């Protein structure tokens, strides 16, 4: 479980997160939604320890402030919005995800996990390519592969479907859902596409102006809430049993 108690953060004295109090259950896919500047990415960075907020954050009962970096890396894997490609090979880059587990020596288990993750994402053909040679979509899949190779209990994903085509978006979100169901991984996903969130997430956190506007399951996602958060009138219809948000 992830627990945030009175978490606050400011950039240059300007409040970005204001008194965040939430609990995220283990094994859930949770979508963080809201307009640009709502504080979604900042919230993920605080949970990952990249930013040092006021307040308390607990992962599986352990205080984030008291965890050493290598201990936190065994619990939390993070995929940022943007990654800078290097001349490192895809295989070696994904292998870096095993660093918290393998120490100085690479074992057969580590190699096998990397191979399995590349195959899982359908990018095993890219193993020997350099990151600099990849398209934006390919690079995004490789960054996601590194996070999966980490075998963390918590996956923090900041707009992971950016640069992915429609098929790849759906395949990846199906994979996240599968990992949640079969391995009990908690996935916290910042996503702009409300309909993608409605299709795959178990719970939703709506943010605006650095605050939590609403948190809960599908029952909280109403036209009134969407209109309040995004300041645009919408209607919600079901297609093949899946709710779809349509701007009016």
pLDDT given for residue 182 in this prediction:
87
Closest CA to 102 of 89, 111, 90: 111
Residue-wise pLDDT for 67-89, tens only, equals: 888 888 889 999 888 887 888 99
Instruction: Identify the band that residue 18 occupies on the pLDDT scale cut at 50, 70 and 90.
Output: very high
* CA–CA separation, 20 and 210 (whole Å): 8
| Residue extents of the structural domains in the chain | 2-247
* CA–CA separation, 78 and 76 (whole Å): 7
Instruction: Identify the band that residue 214 occupies on the pLDDT scale cut at 50, 70 and 90.
Output: very high
pLDDT given for residue 86 in this prediction:
82
Superfamily for 2-247? P-loop containing nucleotide triphosphate hydrolases (3.40.50.300)
pLDDT given for residue 219 in this prediction:
93
Instruction: Identify the band that residue 241 occupies on the pLDDT scale cut at 50, 70 and 90.
Output: confident
* Cβ 24 vs Cβ 57: under 8 Å: no
* Cβ 235 vs Cβ 43: under 8 Å: no
For the segment 163-174, the average pLDDT, to the nearest whole number, is 87
Whether residue 136 has pLDDT greater than 90: no
What is the rounded (10 degree) CA torsion for 117, 120, 126, 129?
-20
């Amino acid at each position: 479980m992830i627990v945030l108690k009175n978490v606050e953060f400011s950039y240059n004295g300007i409040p970005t997160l204001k008194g965040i109090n939430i609990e995220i259950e283990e094994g859930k896919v949770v979508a963080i939604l809201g307009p640009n500047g709502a504080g979604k990415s900042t919230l993920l960075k605080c949970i990952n320890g990249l930013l040092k907020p006021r307040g308390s954050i607990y992962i599986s009962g352990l205080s984030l402030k008291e965890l050493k970096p290598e201990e936190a890396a065994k619990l939390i894997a993070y995929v940022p919005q943007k990654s800078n490609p290097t001349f490192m090979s895809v295989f070696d880059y994904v292998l870096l995800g095993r660093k918290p587990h393998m120490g100085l020596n690479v074992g057969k288990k580590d190699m096998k996990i990397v191979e399995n993750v590349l195959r899982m994402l359908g990018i095993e053909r890219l193993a020997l390519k350099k990151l600099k040679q990849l398209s934006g979509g390919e690079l995004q899949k490789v960054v996601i592969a590194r996070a999966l190779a980490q075998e963390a209990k918590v996956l923090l994903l900041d707009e992971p479907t950016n640069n992915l085509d429609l098929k790849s978006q759906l395949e990846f979100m199906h994979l996240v859902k599968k990992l949640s169901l079969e391995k009990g991984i908690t996935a916290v996903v910042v996503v702009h596409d409300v309909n993608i969130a409605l299709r795959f997430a178990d719970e939703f956190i709506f943010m605006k102006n650095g605050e939590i506007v609403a948190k809960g399951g599908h029952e909280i996602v109403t036209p009134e809430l969407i209109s309040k958060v995004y300041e645009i009138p919408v209607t919600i219809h079901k297609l093949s049993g899946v709710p779809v948000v349509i701007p009016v």
